Amino acid sequence: MYYVGLDLGSSYTKGVLVDQDNTVCDRLALKTGYDFKSVSQQIIDHFSRGHAIEYPIYTCGYGREQVDIPFTAMSEIIALARAVYDYYPQKTEVIDIGGQDTKYIRISDTGIVEKFKLNRKCAAGTGAFLEEIAFRLNVPPEKFNEFALQSTQATEINSFCTVFAVSEIIGLIKEGAPLPDIVLGIYRSIIKRCEEMAPLQNTLVVTGGIPEYHPMIVSLFKKLWPATENPAHSQFLAAYGCVLLHRGSTGED
């Protein structure tokens, strides 16, 4: 028997297939689009090929109740904290950078969520921010990391608003700032947005789809906080935590 956890996010829906030892056997992430029910069913259909799935499935995220099959919904923050604690059973702090928001979570040494905070209403510091900047620069966002590695000195981007940040970047282009320096400055501005959420005091765990596809962000965090961790496949942790919350922890990925 296999168990499914789904994190139905605003940009992507992430699913994990977990066996009876709590080992993740498969993962799948699909663009959410406009229909949570359709994308969740696609993931279930994928996992069902050759695997007997137990219901209900476990869900979290924006669309956690928008599924057509038996489910048990829970908070994405609690689910993410549960999975992080399974990997790092100690006092930690989590910065989760997603497509539409950034989350800060403080986890106690017993795995309890002590504090959490979401980013400002503006999209600055999220995946939507990177996509908007990429569009304005006419550069695919997957190329950002490559450009940042070529930078010799990051430009300073101070705006907290995505719209004003775009205007600031246009000004930098007009002044002749090299593209690699602009891109590195964009990454550093994301770090600033995360810093303002809460003072970091413990081991930092960076998660989410953005660090997964933009590893320079993790490198920048490590320069500021050497005790920074970024587990593999971190954008699937909340989905995995959904299963762990209901089954306990008897194994690991």
pLDDT in tens, the chain (253 residues): 999 999 999 889 999 999 999 999 999 999 998 899 999 999 999 999 989 999 999 999 999 999 999 999 999 999 999 999 999 999 999 999 988 789 999 999 999 999 999 876 566 667 788 888 888 888 998 899 999 999 999 998 876 677 778 888 889 888 999 999 999 999 998 898 888 888 888 899 999 988 989 999 999 999 999 999 999 999 999 999 999 999 875 444 4
β-strand pairing of 92-97 with 12-18: unpaired
Q: Which residues of 226-239 are buried (b: 16+ CB within 10 A; e: fewer)?
A: eebbbbebbbbbbb
Compute how many other C-beta atoms are within 10 angstroms of the C-beta atom of residue 190. 26
Q: Measure the CA–CA gap between 64 and 120, rounded to whole angstroms.
A: 22
The answer to whether residues 73 and 139 belong to one domain is no
Q: Measure the CA–CA gap between 50 and 46, rounded to whole angstroms.
A: 9
111 assigned to some structural domain: no
10 assigned to some structural domain: yes
212 assigned to some structural domain: no
The answer to whether residues 66 and 131 belong to one domain is no
115 assigned to some structural domain: no
52 assigned to some structural domain: yes
Beta bridge partners of 29: 14
Q: Measure the CA–CA gap between 208 and 189, rounded to whole angstroms.
A: 17
59 neighbors 245 (Cβ within 8 angstroms)? no
The total number of structural domains in the chain stands at 2
3-state SS, residue 16: strand
105 neighbors 113 (Cβ within 8 angstroms)? yes
196 assigned to some structural domain: no
Domain extent for 26: 3-77+237-247
48 assigned to some structural domain: yes
45 assigned to some structural domain: yes
CATH for 166: 3.30.420.40
